[in-house]
Amino acid sequence: MANLLRTAKSGNDWGPSELHAYNIRVEFQDAVTFFGVNPLPHPEVADEVLNNPDATDMVHDDNCKFLRYMDLAMDPVPDQESAVVDFAVHLLSLLGFVPRDRMLRTRTDIPLVICGEGRHATTDVCIVEADDILLLVQEDKRHKETKDPEPQLIAEAIAAFLSNNARRTHVLGQNPIPAKTVPGITLKGSSPIFYKIPVTTELAESVALGLYPAVPTVVYAHLPDIPRPARRLSEGMKPLDNRATILSCYEAFKRFIN
């Protein structure tokens, strides 16, 4: 693998070949192993979100809007990507991922040095606290392009690690941290995959220099265990049983946002 071709690609152009080139692999885990809790926590949302299938059944405006955003995300329009982004922003707000000291940002451009050249990684959604990037969300846009969102998300995590460390050293006057597990989510419609992406100084430097890291990076992922997995993409969070499971996964994922 050390002799694989490495080129200076922006994060949004990363694909499976970049993961091979930088000794990165993804392993899926069950819910207990991934989240470290059993059972999954009850989601901290209003009962009507868990008990009523449609937006018209909602009493509170925020819950009604949540389901309307979900419906839009489940029916993407070619050449448009805002529906899933809008849904992600509203969902993370509704679930309490964004207390007063955190902000949700969209289309954040993060510098990324790769193969000795300056490039960028652009998030679809991220959570920021005091300019530190805490969570990344990448839409699966394969309804309109062939790009796999997983390598893009991993590139964004490496860029976020570098950006956060640059702030520590050049703004706060602190030492850089040598390693950080960056949480991330990919979204296809309203169907998520959760990721824990370990980024180290060695990995970031290897990407910056275009070198093959001696130590492999193992990214852990979890695909929610829903009742009808073959209908995952068509159903998303619309059925109440799917919704309860997926929202519980989001609730469990909060512990990694730090």
Residue 73 lies in a domain: yes
Query: Position of tokens 């109440």?
Result: 240
162 in any annotated domain: yes
User: Quick check: is 1 in a domain?
Assistant: no
Residue range 218-228, pLDDT digits in tens: 999 999 999 99
Q: Which domain holds residue 153?
A: 11-256
CB atoms within 10 A of CB 175: 9
What's the N-to-C CA distance of the chain in angstroms? 34
Half-sphere CA count of 79, side-chain side, radius 13 A = 0
* Percentage above 90 pLDDT, the chain: 91
Residue 2 lies in a domain: no
1 has a pLDDT exceeding 60: no
* CB atoms near residue 111 (< 10 Å): 12
- In a domain, residue 6? The reply is no
Total domains in the fold of the chain: 1
Instruction: Compute the distance between CA of residue 190 and CA of residue 234 in angstroms, rounded to an integer.
Output: 9
- Give the mean pLDDT of the chain: 95
Q: Is residue 124 part of a domain?
A: yes
pLDDT digit string (tens) for 143-198? 666 689 999 999 999 999 999 999 999 999 999 999 999 999 999 999 999 999 99
DSSP string, 180-226: EEEEEEEEETTEEEEEEEEEEHHHHHHHHHT---SS-EEEEEE----
Residue 250 lies in a domain: yes
Place of tokens 């390693």: 179
From the list 73, 46, 51, 72, the residue with the least C-alpha distance to 188 is 73
The answer to whether residue 214 sits within a structural domain is yes
Cα atoms in the Cβ-side hemisphere of radius 13 Å centred on 247 = 23
